[in-house]
Amino acid sequence: MDENGGDGFMEQKPKKHKGKHDKPKPWDDPSIDHWKVEKFDPSWNDGGLLEVSSFSTLFPRYREKYLQDAWPIVKQALKEYGISCELNLVEGSMTVSTTRKTRDPYIIVKARDLIKLLSRSVPAPQAIKILNDEMQCDIIKIGNLVRNEKRFVKRRQHLIGPNSSTLKAIEILTGCYVLVQGNTVAAMGSFKGLKQVRRIVEDCIQNIQHPIYHIKILLMKRELGKNPALASENWDRFLPKFKKKNVKQKKVKSKEKKPYTPFPPPQPPSKEDLLLESGEYFLSDTKKFAKKWQEKQEKQAEKTAEKKRKREEAFIPPKELSKKSASQDSTKSVEDDKSEVAAIAMSIKRKSKELRKQKAIDDVKAESYVAVPEKLQNKKSRRSSLSLVVKEDED
Protein backbone atom coordinates (compact mmCIF):
# COMPACT_ATOMS: atom_id res chain seq x y z
CA MET A 1 0.00 0.00 0.00
CA ASP A 2 1.25 3.45 -0.69
CA GLU A 3 1.04 6.56 1.48
CA ASN A 4 -2.40 7.60 0.22
CA GLY A 5 -3.88 4.27 1.22
CA GLY A 6 -4.24 3.31 -2.38
CA ASP A 7 -4.23 -0.28 -3.39
CA GLY A 8 -1.28 -0.05 -5.77
CA PHE A 9 -0.16 2.62 -8.15
CA MET A 10 -2.62 5.29 -9.37
CA GLU A 11 -4.24 4.66 -12.70
CA GLN A 12 -2.89 6.96 -15.35
CA LYS A 13 -5.66 8.98 -17.20
CA PRO A 14 -5.54 8.78 -20.99
CA LYS A 15 -4.18 11.96 -22.64
CA LYS A 16 -6.67 14.25 -24.44
CA HIS A 17 -5.88 14.64 -28.07
CA LYS A 18 -6.79 17.92 -29.75
CA GLY A 19 -9.36 17.43 -32.49
CA LYS A 20 -10.64 14.20 -31.03
CA HIS A 21 -14.25 15.06 -31.88
CA ASP A 22 -13.41 16.76 -35.22
CA LYS A 23 -15.09 14.11 -37.27
CA PRO A 24 -17.29 14.70 -40.32
CA LYS A 25 -20.91 15.32 -39.30
CA PRO A 26 -23.90 14.47 -41.48
CA TRP A 27 -25.05 18.14 -41.41
CA ASP A 28 -21.62 19.47 -42.54
CA ASP A 29 -22.67 19.18 -46.16
CA PRO A 30 -22.29 22.22 -48.47
CA SER A 31 -25.52 21.30 -50.23
CA ILE A 32 -27.52 21.98 -47.01
CA ASP A 33 -28.76 25.58 -46.58
CA HIS A 34 -28.55 26.24 -42.84
CA TRP A 35 -30.38 29.59 -43.19
CA LYS A 36 -33.45 28.05 -44.78
CA VAL A 37 -36.53 28.07 -42.54
CA GLU A 38 -38.35 24.78 -42.98
CA LYS A 39 -42.11 24.75 -42.94
CA PHE A 40 -43.57 23.60 -39.63
CA ASP A 41 -44.93 20.08 -39.58
CA PRO A 42 -47.78 19.43 -37.06
CA SER A 43 -46.31 15.96 -36.37
CA TRP A 44 -43.42 17.67 -34.54
CA ASN A 45 -45.82 18.72 -31.75
CA ASP A 46 -48.64 16.17 -31.45
CA GLY A 47 -49.42 17.02 -27.82
CA GLY A 48 -50.18 20.70 -28.52
CA LEU A 49 -49.54 23.61 -26.14
CA LEU A 50 -49.87 23.43 -22.35
CA GLU A 51 -50.97 27.03 -21.70
CA VAL A 52 -53.20 29.52 -23.54
CA SER A 53 -51.36 32.57 -24.96
CA SER A 54 -53.27 35.65 -26.14
CA PHE A 55 -52.50 39.12 -27.52
CA SER A 56 -54.80 42.08 -28.08
CA THR A 57 -54.41 45.48 -29.73
CA LEU A 58 -56.57 48.57 -30.17
CA PHE A 59 -57.51 50.02 -33.56
CA PRO A 60 -58.65 53.54 -34.59
CA ARG A 61 -62.32 54.28 -35.14
CA TYR A 62 -61.96 54.93 -38.88
CA ARG A 63 -60.84 51.26 -39.33
CA GLU A 64 -63.97 49.86 -37.70
CA LYS A 65 -66.08 49.53 -40.88
CA TYR A 66 -63.26 47.94 -42.93
CA LEU A 67 -62.34 45.43 -40.17
CA GLN A 68 -65.98 44.46 -39.77
CA ASP A 69 -66.17 43.63 -43.50
CA ALA A 70 -62.77 41.88 -43.70
CA TRP A 71 -63.00 39.94 -40.41
CA PRO A 72 -64.39 36.67 -41.95
CA ILE A 73 -61.26 36.46 -44.21
CA VAL A 74 -58.95 36.97 -41.22
CA LYS A 75 -60.87 34.43 -39.13
CA GLN A 76 -60.66 31.81 -41.89
CA ALA A 77 -56.88 32.35 -42.34
CA LEU A 78 -56.19 31.97 -38.58
CA LYS A 79 -58.46 28.94 -38.26
CA GLU A 80 -56.08 26.91 -40.47
CA TYR A 81 -53.35 27.35 -37.83
CA GLY A 82 -55.65 26.66 -34.85
CA ILE A 83 -55.82 30.32 -33.65
CA SER A 84 -59.05 31.91 -32.41
CA CYS A 85 -59.67 35.63 -32.99
CA GLU A 86 -62.20 38.11 -31.63
CA LEU A 87 -63.23 41.60 -32.81
CA ASN A 88 -64.65 43.80 -30.05
CA LEU A 89 -66.34 46.87 -31.54
CA VAL A 90 -67.39 48.25 -28.13
CA GLU A 91 -63.82 48.50 -26.80
CA GLY A 92 -62.28 48.92 -30.27
CA SER A 93 -59.86 46.00 -29.88
CA MET A 94 -58.76 42.79 -31.64
CA THR A 95 -57.69 39.68 -29.70
CA VAL A 96 -55.95 36.48 -30.85
CA SER A 97 -55.35 33.42 -28.65
CA THR A 98 -54.18 29.80 -28.93
CA THR A 99 -56.52 26.79 -28.76
CA ARG A 100 -56.18 23.03 -28.19
CA LYS A 101 -55.77 22.60 -31.95
CA THR A 102 -52.71 24.89 -32.10
CA ARG A 103 -49.52 22.99 -32.87
CA ASP A 104 -47.02 25.64 -34.01
CA PRO A 105 -45.84 27.56 -30.88
CA TYR A 106 -44.59 30.55 -32.91
CA ILE A 107 -47.82 31.11 -34.86
CA ILE A 108 -49.30 33.17 -32.00
CA VAL A 109 -46.51 35.75 -32.49
CA LYS A 110 -47.35 35.84 -36.20
CA ALA A 111 -51.04 36.34 -35.33
CA ARG A 112 -50.08 39.23 -33.02
CA ASP A 113 -48.20 40.87 -35.94
CA LEU A 114 -51.27 40.34 -38.14
CA ILE A 115 -53.62 42.31 -35.87
CA LYS A 116 -50.95 45.04 -35.47
CA LEU A 117 -50.73 45.44 -39.25
CA LEU A 118 -54.53 45.49 -39.58
CA SER A 119 -54.73 48.31 -37.00
CA ARG A 120 -52.12 50.29 -39.01
CA SER A 121 -54.33 50.34 -42.18
CA VAL A 122 -52.62 47.46 -44.01
CA PRO A 123 -55.18 45.71 -46.28
CA ALA A 124 -56.34 42.30 -44.98
CA PRO A 125 -55.13 40.22 -48.01
CA GLN A 126 -51.65 41.74 -47.64
CA ALA A 127 -51.57 41.41 -43.82
CA ILE A 128 -52.49 37.68 -43.97
CA LYS A 129 -49.18 37.03 -45.79
CA ILE A 130 -47.39 37.62 -42.47
CA LEU A 131 -48.47 34.10 -41.39
CA ASN A 132 -45.90 32.65 -43.83
CA ASP A 133 -42.53 31.73 -42.28
CA GLU A 134 -40.51 33.72 -44.88
CA MET A 135 -42.42 36.96 -44.23
CA GLN A 136 -41.55 39.33 -41.37
CA CYS A 137 -42.89 42.77 -40.41
CA ASP A 138 -41.65 45.97 -38.81
CA ILE A 139 -43.72 48.97 -37.66
CA ILE A 140 -41.49 52.09 -37.58
CA LYS A 141 -42.66 54.96 -35.35
CA ILE A 142 -41.79 58.32 -36.96
CA GLY A 143 -44.07 60.69 -35.04
CA ASN A 144 -41.60 61.42 -32.23
CA LEU A 145 -38.53 61.97 -34.48
CA VAL A 146 -39.47 65.57 -35.42
CA ARG A 147 -41.12 68.15 -33.16
CA ASN A 148 -42.27 70.65 -35.79
CA GLU A 149 -45.47 69.41 -37.45
CA LYS A 150 -44.96 71.25 -40.78
CA ARG A 151 -41.43 69.92 -41.08
CA PHE A 152 -42.64 66.40 -40.27
CA VAL A 153 -45.34 66.50 -42.98
CA LYS A 154 -42.83 67.82 -45.54
CA ARG A 155 -40.26 65.07 -44.82
CA ARG A 156 -42.94 62.38 -44.82
CA GLN A 157 -43.96 63.60 -48.28
CA HIS A 158 -40.30 63.24 -49.40
CA LEU A 159 -40.55 59.58 -48.39
CA ILE A 160 -43.71 59.05 -50.47
CA GLY A 161 -42.64 61.16 -53.48
CA PRO A 162 -44.77 62.50 -56.37
CA ASN A 163 -47.51 59.95 -57.25
CA SER A 164 -45.89 57.55 -54.69
CA SER A 165 -42.93 57.08 -57.10
CA THR A 166 -40.25 57.13 -54.34
CA LEU A 167 -42.19 54.60 -52.23
CA LYS A 168 -42.60 52.25 -55.22
CA ALA A 169 -38.85 52.44 -55.97
CA ILE A 170 -38.06 51.55 -52.33
CA GLU A 171 -40.49 48.59 -52.49
CA ILE A 172 -38.91 47.24 -55.71
CA LEU A 173 -35.29 47.59 -54.54
CA THR A 174 -35.79 46.24 -51.00
CA GLY A 175 -38.40 43.61 -51.91
CA CYS A 176 -40.70 44.79 -49.11
CA TYR A 177 -44.25 46.08 -48.87
CA VAL A 178 -44.19 49.62 -47.37
CA LEU A 179 -47.19 51.63 -46.17
CA VAL A 180 -46.95 55.16 -44.70
CA GLN A 181 -49.92 55.89 -42.44
CA GLY A 182 -50.08 58.77 -39.95
CA ASN A 183 -47.21 58.59 -37.46
CA THR A 184 -46.03 55.08 -38.44
CA VAL A 185 -44.54 53.22 -41.42
CA ALA A 186 -45.54 49.55 -41.75
CA ALA A 187 -43.13 47.30 -43.69
CA MET A 188 -43.38 43.61 -44.64
CA GLY A 189 -40.61 41.48 -46.14
CA SER A 190 -37.33 39.71 -45.38
CA PHE A 191 -35.05 40.69 -42.50
CA LYS A 192 -32.48 42.23 -44.88
CA GLY A 193 -35.13 44.30 -46.67
CA LEU A 194 -36.70 45.49 -43.41
CA LYS A 195 -33.31 46.68 -42.17
CA GLN A 196 -32.82 48.74 -45.37
CA VAL A 197 -36.35 50.19 -45.15
CA ARG A 198 -35.87 51.25 -41.50
CA ARG A 199 -32.60 53.00 -42.34
CA ILE A 200 -34.14 54.86 -45.32
CA VAL A 201 -37.18 55.97 -43.29
CA GLU A 202 -35.22 57.18 -40.25
CA ASP A 203 -32.63 59.02 -42.38
CA CYS A 204 -35.41 60.77 -44.29
CA ILE A 205 -37.42 61.88 -41.24
CA GLN A 206 -34.30 62.99 -39.33
CA ASN A 207 -33.08 64.89 -42.45
CA ILE A 208 -29.81 62.89 -42.60
CA GLN A 209 -30.15 61.78 -46.23
CA HIS A 210 -32.87 62.05 -48.88
CA PRO A 211 -34.47 58.71 -49.96
CA ILE A 212 -33.39 59.32 -53.59
CA TYR A 213 -29.71 58.93 -52.59
CA HIS A 214 -30.47 55.62 -50.85
CA ILE A 215 -32.25 54.46 -54.02
CA LYS A 216 -29.16 55.31 -56.12
CA ILE A 217 -26.91 53.32 -53.77
CA LEU A 218 -29.28 50.31 -53.82
CA LEU A 219 -29.37 50.40 -57.63
CA MET A 220 -25.56 50.36 -57.80
CA LYS A 221 -25.40 47.50 -55.27
CA ARG A 222 -27.82 45.50 -57.41
CA GLU A 223 -25.63 46.01 -60.49
CA LEU A 224 -22.46 45.11 -58.57
CA GLY A 225 -24.10 41.95 -57.22
CA LYS A 226 -24.57 40.66 -60.76
CA ASN A 227 -20.78 40.58 -61.27
CA PRO A 228 -19.37 37.38 -59.67
CA ALA A 229 -15.78 38.75 -59.78
CA LEU A 230 -16.74 41.47 -57.24
CA ALA A 231 -18.62 39.14 -54.87
CA SER A 232 -15.75 38.89 -52.35
CA GLU A 233 -14.54 42.52 -52.67
CA ASN A 234 -15.45 45.68 -50.77
CA TRP A 235 -17.91 47.85 -52.74
CA ASP A 236 -17.28 51.13 -50.90
CA ARG A 237 -14.99 52.43 -53.65
CA PHE A 238 -17.76 52.00 -56.25
CA LEU A 239 -20.59 53.54 -54.22
CA PRO A 240 -21.20 57.33 -54.39
CA LYS A 241 -20.54 59.48 -51.34
CA PHE A 242 -23.05 62.29 -50.96
CA LYS A 243 -22.04 65.37 -48.99
CA LYS A 244 -24.73 67.23 -47.09
CA LYS A 245 -24.99 70.87 -48.18
CA ASN A 246 -25.54 73.37 -45.41
CA VAL A 247 -28.45 75.63 -46.33
CA LYS A 248 -28.15 79.19 -45.08
CA GLN A 249 -30.69 79.78 -42.37
CA LYS A 250 -32.19 83.07 -41.34
CA LYS A 251 -30.22 84.74 -38.58
CA VAL A 252 -32.25 85.31 -35.47
CA LYS A 253 -32.10 88.92 -34.40
CA SER A 254 -30.65 89.00 -30.91
CA LYS A 255 -32.10 91.64 -28.62
CA GLU A 256 -29.60 94.00 -27.09
CA LYS A 257 -29.27 93.38 -23.39
CA LYS A 258 -29.89 96.46 -21.29
CA PRO A 259 -27.39 97.27 -18.58
CA TYR A 260 -28.32 95.70 -15.27
CA THR A 261 -29.68 98.02 -12.59
CA PRO A 262 -30.73 96.86 -9.12
CA PHE A 263 -33.55 99.44 -9.01
CA PRO A 264 -36.92 98.60 -10.62
CA PRO A 265 -38.22 100.76 -13.49
CA PRO A 266 -40.53 103.67 -12.60
CA GLN A 267 -44.19 102.77 -12.40
CA PRO A 268 -46.18 104.08 -15.41
CA PRO A 269 -48.88 106.63 -14.49
CA SER A 270 -52.43 105.29 -14.25
CA LYS A 271 -55.46 106.78 -16.02
CA GLU A 272 -56.56 108.57 -12.86
CA ASP A 273 -53.10 110.17 -12.49
CA LEU A 274 -53.25 111.43 -16.07
CA LEU A 275 -56.74 112.85 -15.50
CA LEU A 276 -55.54 114.58 -12.35
CA GLU A 277 -52.60 116.15 -14.22
CA SER A 278 -54.82 117.48 -17.01
CA GLY A 279 -57.54 118.60 -14.59
CA GLU A 280 -60.27 116.52 -16.23
CA TYR A 281 -60.75 114.49 -13.06
CA PHE A 282 -62.64 117.39 -11.37
CA LEU A 283 -64.89 118.18 -14.37
CA SER A 284 -68.58 117.27 -14.29
CA ASP A 285 -70.06 114.59 -16.56
CA THR A 286 -71.71 117.16 -18.84
CA LYS A 287 -68.43 119.01 -19.36
CA LYS A 288 -66.58 115.75 -20.03
CA PHE A 289 -69.18 114.77 -22.60
CA ALA A 290 -69.01 118.22 -24.24
CA LYS A 291 -65.21 118.02 -24.47
CA LYS A 292 -65.30 114.55 -26.06
CA TRP A 293 -67.95 115.71 -28.54
CA GLN A 294 -65.83 118.75 -29.49
CA GLU A 295 -62.73 116.57 -30.06
CA LYS A 296 -64.80 114.22 -32.21
CA GLN A 297 -66.13 117.17 -34.29
CA GLU A 298 -62.58 118.51 -34.83
CA LYS A 299 -61.34 115.10 -36.04
CA GLN A 300 -64.34 114.76 -38.33
CA ALA A 301 -63.71 118.22 -39.82
CA GLU A 302 -60.05 117.37 -40.49
CA LYS A 303 -61.04 114.15 -42.28
CA THR A 304 -63.68 115.86 -44.43
CA ALA A 305 -61.21 118.60 -45.43
CA GLU A 306 -58.62 115.97 -46.40
CA LYS A 307 -61.15 114.04 -48.52
CA LYS A 308 -62.31 117.25 -50.23
CA ARG A 309 -58.71 118.20 -51.06
CA LYS A 310 -58.09 114.77 -52.62
CA ARG A 311 -61.28 115.06 -54.74
CA GLU A 312 -60.34 118.55 -55.99
CA GLU A 313 -56.82 117.48 -57.00
CA ALA A 314 -58.24 115.88 -60.18
CA PHE A 315 -59.70 119.25 -61.33
CA ILE A 316 -56.53 121.35 -60.83
CA PRO A 317 -55.00 122.14 -64.30
CA PRO A 318 -51.28 121.50 -64.86
CA LYS A 319 -48.86 124.44 -64.87
CA GLU A 320 -48.22 125.91 -68.34
CA LEU A 321 -44.67 126.69 -69.49
CA SER A 322 -43.79 130.38 -70.07
CA LYS A 323 -42.74 131.71 -73.51
CA LYS A 324 -39.14 132.29 -72.46
CA SER A 325 -38.70 128.79 -71.09
CA ALA A 326 -40.36 127.33 -74.23
CA SER A 327 -38.00 129.31 -76.55
CA GLN A 328 -34.97 128.27 -74.48
CA ASP A 329 -35.99 124.65 -74.71
CA SER A 330 -36.49 124.90 -78.50
CA THR A 331 -33.04 126.56 -79.03
CA LYS A 332 -31.40 123.88 -76.88
CA SER A 333 -33.06 121.12 -78.87
CA VAL A 334 -31.96 122.75 -82.21
CA GLU A 335 -28.37 123.09 -80.99
CA ASP A 336 -28.36 119.48 -79.83
CA ASP A 337 -29.64 118.35 -83.26
CA LYS A 338 -26.96 120.38 -85.06
CA SER A 339 -24.18 118.97 -82.92
CA GLU A 340 -25.45 115.42 -83.54
CA VAL A 341 -25.57 116.05 -87.37
CA ALA A 342 -22.02 117.46 -87.34
CA ALA A 343 -20.72 114.49 -85.38
CA ILE A 344 -22.39 112.07 -87.86
CA ALA A 345 -20.87 113.96 -90.84
CA MET A 346 -17.38 113.84 -89.32
CA SER A 347 -17.66 110.11 -88.67
CA ILE A 348 -18.80 109.48 -92.29
CA LYS A 349 -15.82 111.48 -93.65
CA ARG A 350 -13.40 109.57 -91.47
CA LYS A 351 -14.81 106.25 -92.58
CA SER A 352 -14.66 107.26 -96.30
CA LYS A 353 -10.97 108.20 -95.97
CA GLU A 354 -10.20 104.87 -94.33
CA LEU A 355 -12.01 103.04 -97.16
CA ARG A 356 -10.01 104.88 -99.83
CA LYS A 357 -6.73 103.98 -98.14
CA GLN A 358 -7.80 100.40 -97.87
CA LYS A 359 -8.77 100.28 -101.56
CA ALA A 360 -5.43 101.81 -102.59
CA ILE A 361 -3.61 99.11 -100.61
CA ASP A 362 -5.77 96.34 -102.08
CA ASP A 363 -5.47 97.59 -105.75
CA VAL A 364 -1.66 97.54 -105.86
CA LYS A 365 -0.44 95.91 -109.16
CA ALA A 366 2.80 93.99 -109.28
CA GLU A 367 3.33 94.96 -112.97
CA SER A 368 4.01 98.55 -112.08
CA TYR A 369 7.11 97.45 -110.13
CA VAL A 370 8.45 95.13 -112.90
CA ALA A 371 10.54 96.56 -115.82
CA VAL A 372 8.95 95.88 -119.26
CA PRO A 373 11.42 95.38 -122.27
CA GLU A 374 9.49 97.80 -124.59
CA LYS A 375 9.79 100.59 -122.09
CA LEU A 376 13.51 99.92 -121.75
CA GLN A 377 14.02 100.27 -125.55
CA ASN A 378 12.12 103.57 -125.63
CA LYS A 379 14.35 104.84 -122.83
CA LYS A 380 17.51 103.85 -124.79
CA SER A 381 16.25 105.58 -127.97
CA ARG A 382 15.51 108.71 -126.01
CA ARG A 383 18.99 108.67 -124.47
CA SER A 384 20.64 108.24 -127.90
CA SER A 385 18.61 111.10 -129.43
CA LEU A 386 19.53 113.35 -126.54
CA SER A 387 23.24 112.54 -126.93
CA LEU A 388 23.11 113.45 -130.67
CA VAL A 389 21.47 116.75 -129.95
CA VAL A 390 24.16 117.58 -127.36
CA LYS A 391 26.97 116.84 -129.86
CA GLU A 392 25.47 119.06 -132.57
CA ASP A 393 25.24 121.89 -130.13
CA GLU A 394 28.93 121.49 -129.25
CA ASP A 395 29.93 121.56 -132.93
pLDDT in tens, 74-88: 999 999 999 999 999
| Contact by Cβ (8 Å): 204, 197 | no
Least confident of 91-100, 133-142, 231-240, 384-393: 384-393
The mean pLDDT of 337-357, rounded to a whole number, is 81
* DSSP letter (8 states) at residue 26: T
pLDDT at residue 318, rounded to an integer: 79
51: which residues sit within 8 A by CB, 6+ positions away? none
The mean pLDDT of 66-79, rounded to a whole number, is 95
**CA 245 to mean position of chain CA atoms:** 11
Conformation bin of residue 163: beta by default, left when phi > 0, alpha when psi is -120 to 50:
left
The mean pLDDT of 178-196, rounded to a whole number, is 94
| Contact by Cβ (8 Å): 167, 161 | yes
Please say if the pLDDT value at position 390 is more than 70: no
Alpha-helix runs per DSSP H in the chain: 64-79, 107-119, 124-127, 149-160, 165-174, 191-205, 211-225, 271-278, 285-312, 323-362, 373-394
The mean pLDDT of 121-125, rounded to a whole number, is 94
Please say if the pLDDT value at position 370 is more than 50: no
Conformation bin of residue 8: beta by default, left when phi > 0, alpha when psi is -120 to 50:
left
Please say if the pLDDT value at position 108 is more than 80: yes
* Whether this model's pTM surpasses 0.85: no
pLDDT at residue 366, rounded to an integer: 47
Please say if the pLDDT value at position 386 is more than 60: no
Helices 64-79 and 107-119 meet at what angle, rounded to 10? 160
What is the 3-state composition of the chain as percent helix, strand, coil, each rounded to the nearest 5?
Answer: 55, 10, 40
The mean pLDDT of 159-167, rounded to a whole number, is 93
Please say if the pLDDT value at position 270 is more than 50: yes
| Contact by Cβ (8 Å): 125, 109 | no
* Intra-chain end-to-end CA distance of the chain, in Å: 183
Dist CA 162 CA 186 (whole Å): 20
pLDDT at residue 378, rounded to an integer: 54
Dist CA 267 CA 146 (whole Å): 44
The mean pLDDT of 259-281, rounded to a whole number, is 88
pLDDT at residue 227, rounded to an integer: 85
pLDDT at residue 4, rounded to an integer: 47
pLDDT at residue 259, rounded to an integer: 86
